[in-house]
Amino acid sequence: MLPASRFGTATGRGARLPAAAALPLALALVARTAVAEPSPGVRLVYFDRSDANCPAEPDLRAAAAARLGYDPFAPTGKSSVVVTITRTARGLRGEIRVEDPSREGAASRSIESSSGDCAELGKAMALAISIAVDAMSLSSPMPQEPRPPSASRDRPATNGPRAARPNGATDEHLVPPAAEPELQGVGSIASDIPRRSSGASAEPPDTARWYLAVHGLTSVGFAPGVTAGGALGAGWLGQGRSFEIEGRADYPQSTPHGTGSIRVWPLLVTVAPCVNARGWAFCGLGRLGRLHGSGHGFAVDRTGSSVVATVGFRLANEAILSKPLRFRVFFDLDWIPTNNSFDVDGRSAWATSTWAVSLGLGLTTRFP
């Protein structure tokens, strides 16, 4: 390199640089221009037509950026990622369409959630968006967030050769994120990286949610014939598990016996711990209550009750009606070890079955 005085004298006389020196200088100028003026990024266009309150655009964008390790999105981007969520007969569908001017035609991909779980669908879409944006970055550099000049000076040096980055620019966007984003609840996406607008850390993914349930049901085995009844429950829902306490009452069912008739009905409290997967719940059941009976048309009409206890199994499925409201259908199978019976004149007039079967429909609502 020429001393400063000679360099100033040569340029002052209008001397020309040799070709061997001009080529590296031109390449350096091109490299500086490419870094100083990065590509405008990717524009994210989002439509939620599911009426299920699926992930909001800022949450979806943040989840994709967390997977990439940098934020590639800009409102003036030349390339576009168009995301559309719709409801289908089988659940929810997310469609991702990539429009890149540097490539011929547009690419698209559809992701379906048969369980209708917005959180599950949002996680899959965030992954697909990050893969699509990463593929586009191979043909055009992604914009980087401006950093204070001191950031590059405070970074420790690394061993081995490294390409020069003018103006303190780094290749940090090539580093994968420390942790993947997690999904929270229904219709929300969050990262374990704190947001810049708040000093608080993100909420853990298995935050509990409470819910209420109301059911109508029919059953066989607790009373004579086929009975109808209802149940009211409250429960706790976590990540892949739930716990519900339910109060149940069946309408009194009559059956003739001799010159009169008897009426029997159960009042039960149910405890149901469950494992949940893709909209299905697999539950154990424990019930405890009273079996009530009364006689009518006999010489002496009597009423009475006895303790009834059961253990069993429940299979349930839920479908989304709206964000807080869901439709539930379930099947219960109970074993009745207490062998309750109703006596008339010292003789058994009716006894519970060993097994009881219940079918039910209901609604659940979640909060907050």
What is the span of the domain harbouring residue 96? 42-190
Asked whether the beta carbons of 272 and 281 are under 8 A apart, the reply is no
- Work out how many domains the chain is built from and give that number: 2
Q: Are residues 216 and 320 in the same domain?
A: yes
Cα(232)–Cα(219) distance, integer angstroms: 16
Domain endpoint, select from 128, 161, 190:
190
Q: Which of 25-39, 149-163, 174-188 has the highest mean pLDDT?
A: 149-163
Q: Are residues 94 and 239 in the same domain?
A: no
Q: Are residues 109 and 165 in the same domain?
A: yes
Amino acid sitting at position 79: S
Cα 33 to its chain centre, rounded Å, is 43
Q: Are residues 154 and 105 in the same domain?
A: yes
Q: What is the pTM of this model?
A: 0.51
| Residue-wise pLDDT tens digits, 206-244 | 456 899 999 999 999 999 999 999 999 999 998 889 999
Q: Domain containing 111 — which CATH number? A: 3.30.160.100
Q: Specify the pLDDT at position 71.
A: 87
Residue 233, both tokens: 């429950």
Q: Are residues 252 and 334 in the same domain?
A: yes
Please name every residue paired with 226 in a beta bridge, in sequence order, or none if there are none: 220
Q: Are residues 186 and 215 in the same domain?
A: no
Cα(317)–Cα(9) distance, integer angstroms: 85
Q: Specify the pLDDT at position 8.
A: 37
Name the least confident of 70-74, 123-127, 179-183, 356-360.
179-183
Q: Are residues 70 and 141 in the same domain?
A: yes
Q: Are residues 225 and 184 in the same domain?
A: no
Say if residue 338's pLDDT is above 70. Answer: yes
User: Would residue 25 count as lying in a domain?
Assistant: no
Q: Specify the pLDDT at position 89.
A: 73
Residue bearing tokens 């298995």: 206
| Residue-wise pLDDT tens digits, 112-122 | 887 777 778 88
Q: Are residues 226 and 311 in the same domain?
A: yes
